Amino acid sequence: MTILGGSSGFGPRGGDGKPPEVPVVTERDFEAKVLRSELPVLLEFFSARSAVSKQVATEVAAFAKDMTGKVAVYRVDADKSPIIVRQLRVQQIPTFMLFAEQRVADAQVGPLRKRDLQAMVEPFLPRQAGALKVPEVAQLLQKGAIAMVDTRDAGAFGRAHLPKATHIPLEEVKGRIAELYMLPGQPVLYCRSGDKTKELVAELAADGVEAAFMEGGLLAWEAEGLPIQRG
């Protein structure tokens, strides 16, 4: 966990600006809102004197809106909550700190964008039904419990795919459900990055069809150095 980074201090003084529509947690309610939260909690330590804090306000507000019901997002005024700042050893503004299960799970310093905040909380979000991480897929394949289904186009499949994978293009899966049930194991769909099969599995679940998908897709499988069948 890295809290220190870049220059120290709360940054330059800025002009008057309206705070983003993200609630501010104080020393009075920190325990109730952060430590007792059933959801992961993302804190942004800010200062009204910091121009950088004003710059990231829109990103934080947009992120908070997207994470409604999944992650509690609060701001902490570093100038008005010195005890929290001291206890958590915050030394730069902005600092983003993620709490999960009553402990600091991650901390990052600097003007993070919305996508950076998403990546920060992603490991702590509830997983979609049917989501399997690459190590889980590898273990289940060794046991013969699953069958991989490559949903990319024929050209991509021909160049590289998981060993023994069955090829069913993404747009054909819903019309070939019977084939999924005939595979020698629970079907696990994958695409290049995992995004398309994630959406497809959710759609199948809504139709009463059980399927799983590999998070991160073929890219994540390759990143783990696992076997690929080429040509």
Q: What is the pLDDT of residues 54-95, one digit of tens each?
A: 999 999 999 999 888 889 999 999 999 999 999 999 999 999
In this structure, the number of other CB atoms found within 10 A of the CB of residue 107 comes to 21
Cα 22 to Cα 68: distance, rounded to the nearest angstrom? 11
Contact in structure between 218 and 160 (CB atoms under 8 Å): yes
Asked whether this chain's domains 30-124 and 131-230 adopt the same fold, the reply is no
Under 8 Å CB-to-CB from 165, ≥6 apart: which residues? Answer: 148, 149, 150, 157, 190, 229
Instruction: Determine the CATH number of domain 30-124.
Output: 3.40.30.10
For 139, the token pair is 């273990």
Q: Where are the domains of the chain?
A: 30-124, 131-230
Q: What is the pLDDT of residues 88-116, one digit of tens each?
A: 999 999 999 999 988 999 999 999 999 89
CATH architecture of structural domain 131-230: 3-Layer(aba) Sandwich (3.40)
